[in-house]
Structure formats: structure tokens, C-alpha cells
Amino acid sequence: MVARDDGWVSDARGALNLVVELAGEWKAVGRLRNRADWAGECAARKSSVAFLRKTHFDTVPMKPQRLMRELRSTLPRDTVVFGDMGNTYSWILRYFQSYPEGMNFLPSGLACMGSSVAACIGAKLGKPEAPVVCICGDGDFLMTGMEVLTAVEYRVPVVWIVLKNNRLGLIHDAQALSYQGRYCATMFGEVDFVAIARAFGAGGERVERPDEVGPVVRRALEQDGPVVVEAVIDADEKFPLTSRATAMKDSVGLPRVIDSLSVESVRALFKMFRDKEK
């Protein structure tokens, strides 16, 4: 079994045996016995200097990490937050702290893009006393954003924070890892989400700088109807590689051997995989 900085490359037997061994050690020192202690440790790590440094970018376009920090410091603790699929999911998981007074919903089951854009309306109807916010990518919003019209029709005051980078970020980054920068159907042209929201009869605002986030979001929460906030983020910012992403890069991110669709290039690809298996 080969050790790595962020995990282990192993067959199933070796990995499971190691997990059992480590779990036994953790239980022996009581690390898993007290849920409150574990929650306290997580909170301490998130308030550490190292964590805050990762979210304190002042650059423009905004870093997604900084946007998460501004949203967390602005939104009330009892906010019901819906995060949509894609890179947005990962930014929320890593940099948006959850509180027991509120709720965080992430579509981690079927990974269905656009589901949270619509589901947040139902959440507001079910819990009208709490602020409800959907944090989504522009690709998510383009899939089901017409539901804003439903919120307008029934005057449901939901706030959508649309992370705008003009691309399907997760797929784009996966293609960068696996196919050496050969992209297909991951980028799209300029879309004015503020104009779309206003055309529906909803409120629409745009933020480009970190210091604009707080005032705009607070203003949106005070409205008696739905509001779409277009937040422009750095399209080139990538979240830290997980072991899964690293495995994708190591297993599929091979040197380019196919420059054109030809019999010779296909044969070369099959030969490379056969040699890799040996």
C-alpha cells in the first residue's frame, strides 16, 4: 500500500483493515465518544488563523472562499440554506459554517443540479419565520431558475445567491484534470441574471467586491418578495484537491496520445491502458 499526503492508494482489503485499526485506536483514546467534544474541535479549527487566512482574499474578481465568509457573517444564524450541486457544493462544505439554529441542505444523494434552486421555495413555505437562501452556481440557476417566477407569483421571499463564472465549474475542472485542458460544453456566454430576475418581477442585485456582499444581502433579506443576487467570482479559482480528484488526475490524466481521431491513435490509447494494467 502506497502512502500519500491526502490518503492511501490501496486495494479494498488493505484499506478496510487500516480503517478498522485506526477506528480502534480512536475509540481507545475516546475521540469518538463525545459528540459535543467533536463539534467543539471542528468549531475551533474553523476559527483558527489558518482557516481564516484561506478566506481573507480581497482580490477582484471575488474568491469563492471570501464570498462564503461574507455570506456566513451576514446571514442570521437561523437561516435555512440550500446549496446546489457543482463546485458551489464544495465551497459550502469547506468554507460555510453551519449553526444548530439553522439548517443546511445539500443535494449530495443524486447530485441533481438545479434542485435546490426550486426546493428553497418549498422550505420558505414550510418555515416562513426563518430566512431562506439558496446558494447556487450560474449553471444550476440556468437549469431551473424559471422557478423564480413561481416565487414572484406567490410572493415567497427567498433569496438566491448565484455564483457567476460563466461555466459549469465542476465539469470544467474535471476536464482540466482528466483531459489536459481539452474542454467540451462547459462554458457559456454572458448572462445578466439581474435583468432576468427583474423581468420576472423579482428583485435583482449584482455584487463584484467582498465589501458589497453584506449590504446587498441584508437589503435582500428585508424585501417582502424574492431577490436574485448575482455574485461574480473568480472563474479560475479551484477548491483544494480531494483524494477523489487526485485519483481522477492520476488514473485518467495521462499524457495526450490522441491528437486526431485515427485508427493509430485509438490503438495507442488501448496499448497505454494495457501497459498501465501490467
pLDDT in tens, 59-106: 899 999 999 999 999 999 999 999 999 999 989 988 998 898 999 999
User: Is 38 contained in some domain?
Assistant: no
Q: Looking at residue 157, what is its pLDDT?
A: 98
User: Is 139 contained in some domain?
Assistant: yes
How many domains are contained in the chain? 3
Most confident of 42-51, 207-216, 236-245, 259-268: 207-216
User: Is 53 contained in some domain?
Assistant: yes
Instruction: Using the predicted structure, report yes or no on whether residue 175 has a pLDDT greater than 50.
Output: yes
The reply to whether 253 and 116 lie within a common domain is: no
Instruction: Using the predicted structure, report yes or no on whether residue 2 has a pLDDT greater than 60.
Output: no
Give DSSP secondary structure letters for the chain.
-EEETTEEE--HHHHHHHHHHHHHHHHHHTTTT-HHHHHHHHHHHHTSHHHHHTT----SSBPHHHHHHHHHHHS-TT-EEEE-SSHHHHHHHHH----TTSEEE--TTT--TTHHHHHHHHHHHH-TTS-EEEEEEHHHHHHHGGGHHHHHHTT---EEEEEE-SB-HHHHHHHHHHSTT---S-B-----HHHHHHHHTSEEEEE-SHHHHHHHHHHHHTSSS-EEEEEEB-TT--PPPPHHHHHHHHHH-PPP--SS--HHHHHHHHHHHHHHH-
Q: What is the mean pLDDT of the chain?
A: 82
User: Is 272 contained in some domain?
Assistant: yes
Q: Looking at residue 37, what is its pLDDT?
A: 72
Q: Looking at residue 242, what is its pLDDT?
A: 61
Which pLDDT band, with edges at 50, 70 and 90, does 26 fall under?
Answer: low
pTM of the model: 0.71
The per-residue pLDDT for range 258-269, each reduced to its tens digit, is: 344 445 555 665
The reply to whether 94 and 114 lie within a common domain is: yes
The reply to whether 114 and 166 lie within a common domain is: yes
User: Is 154 contained in some domain?
Assistant: yes
The reply to whether 221 and 267 lie within a common domain is: no
The reply to whether 273 and 151 lie within a common domain is: no
The reply to whether 136 and 12 lie within a common domain is: no
Domain of residue 248, residue span: 243-277
Which pLDDT band, with edges at 50, 70 and 90, does 254 fall under?
Answer: very low
